[in-house]
Structure 1
Amino acid sequence: MMHRHDKLITASAALFLLLGGCARSEGYPSLSIRDSERVTGVIDAAAAAFTPAPATPATLAQLDTLAASARAAHQRFLAAQPTTERLVAGARGSAAGTEGWARAQVAIANLESLRSDTMIALADIDRLHVDAHTGGGDIAETGAALAEINTLVDQQDAVIAALLGQLGG
């Protein structure tokens, strides 16, 4: 009759024999890298360089038109700004719904409409920029126009926010 201690010794011996068989290289493939698994070849650094395609004349013409439209809308915004500021200053402290307050609100809405004209051009410029970028084209011109018009919209946003803050609405 085998005791528990004897069974443990027998199981341990069997385990050592089994593990010893795994350690031998007979019948088991090596885990070393095979020649077919090695990466070979030459990288041509000149071939890796990417040169974007220049913007087409049609794209540049469209970009110029859109930027000019945004600049014109911004000039209209700047022209309307002093009148709006005067109306807001006159309505400051007025209750909502009074005539002065309503005139100031309409003037601010006009500025917001002019800002929308600028933003429409900005969205179209952004589309041209994305198309050039995803198509592997040169994005220098579209990126510059995008930054310029985005700055104009940021300025308009700041003016409108300040006027609304002064009016209390």
Structure 2
Amino acid sequence: MMRATDRSIPALVSLPLSLGAVLLISACAGSRAYPSLAVRDIERVEGSASAASGSIEAPPALPAPTADLTTRLAGLVDIASEAHEKFKSRQPVAERAISGVGGAISDSWTNAQVALSSLQAARSGVLTSLGELDQLYADARIANPEQVSPTAAAIEAARSQVESWVSSENAVIERLSARLR
């Protein structure tokens, strides 16, 4: 059973601690010398920052949506084909960079990461075309859900070609990425 004096012991110990904390806080509050919020010399902006020329690639221009379907499909496959060729041309550079990679965060590892990023960026046209073909195919199937129309079949043929490029590029990216881990 607890006695009345036992309950007052924590209160007696906490009272000096509380008073000490109040005194410390009040000592800090007494100072009126606040730091200035003005911009310091080190914070001033000097020079200019801009992306290196040629380092950012513009996204591929897709064929106009109002073009007839055959022309639109051919344009999307052409964009994907060009992007796939760009991917294949950058692949040896990435392969070499990754084959000579050192430890994580070394210069060779950083160069390999940059080469892999460049390889991934080269495939943007393939992925953009596949997304557009997917949308066209979905629209064609929604318009005629009962059977595959000639329109949907033409879109599916173009889509299959582009999808095969995406699959092969995915395999290369995954293989190279695994070597960097």
TM-score, structure 1 normalization: 0.62
Letter aligned with residue 59 of structure 1: L
Is contact 1:101-1:167 (8 Å) kept? Answer: yes
* RMSD of aligned Cα (Å): 1.5
Name 1:113's counterpart in structure 2.
Answer: 121
CA displacement at 1:117 relative to structure 2: 2.2
- Give 1:11-50 correspondences, 5 Å limit: none
Name 1:100's counterpart in structure 2.
Answer: 108
Name 2:96's counterpart in structure 1.
Answer: 86
Q: How many residue pairs align between the two structures?
A: 111
> In 2, distance between residues paired with 1:129 and 1:79?
30
Name 1:149's counterpart in structure 2.
Answer: 162
Is contact 1:70-1:121 (8 Å) kept? Answer: yes
For residues 76-135 of structure 1, give each alpha carbon's deviation from its aligned partner in whole angstroms, at most 9, with x where no partner exists: 0000001110000011xx222111100100010111112222111100011111112212
> In 2, distance between residues paired with 1:106 and 1:57?
38
Q: Which blocks of at least 5 consecutive residues in structure 1 are unaligned? A: 1-55
* Structure 1 runs (4+) greater than 3 angstroms displaced: none
Is contact 1:119-1:153 (8 Å) kept? Answer: yes
> In 2, distance between residues paired with 1:146 and 1:109?
25
Is contact 1:76-1:114 (8 Å) kept? Answer: yes
Name 1:36's counterpart in structure 2.
Answer: none
More helix by share: 1
Aligned partner of residue 68 in structure 2, secondary structure: helix
Name 2:46's counterpart in structure 1.
Answer: none
Q: Which among 125, 128, 131 is matched to residue 136 of structure 2? A: 128
Q: Which blocks of at least 5 consecutive residues in structure 2 are unaligned? A: 1-65
> In 2, distance between residues paired with 1:100 and 1:134?
50
- The structure whose Rg is larger is 1
CA displacement at 1:152 relative to structure 2: 0.5
> In 2, distance between residues paired with 1:60 and 1:83?
36
> In 1, distance between residues paired with 2:67 and 2:121?
31
Instruction: Point out which structure has higher relative CO (alpha carbons under 8 A, 6+ apart).
Output: 1
> In 2, distance between residues paired with 1:117 and 1:100?
28
Aligned partner of residue 105 in structure 2, secondary structure: coil
Structure 1 97/57 Cα, relative in aligned 2: closer, same or farther at 3 Å?
closer
Name 1:45's counterpart in structure 2.
Answer: none
> In 1, distance between residues paired with 2:67 and 2:140?
13
Letter aligned with residue 134 of structure 2: D
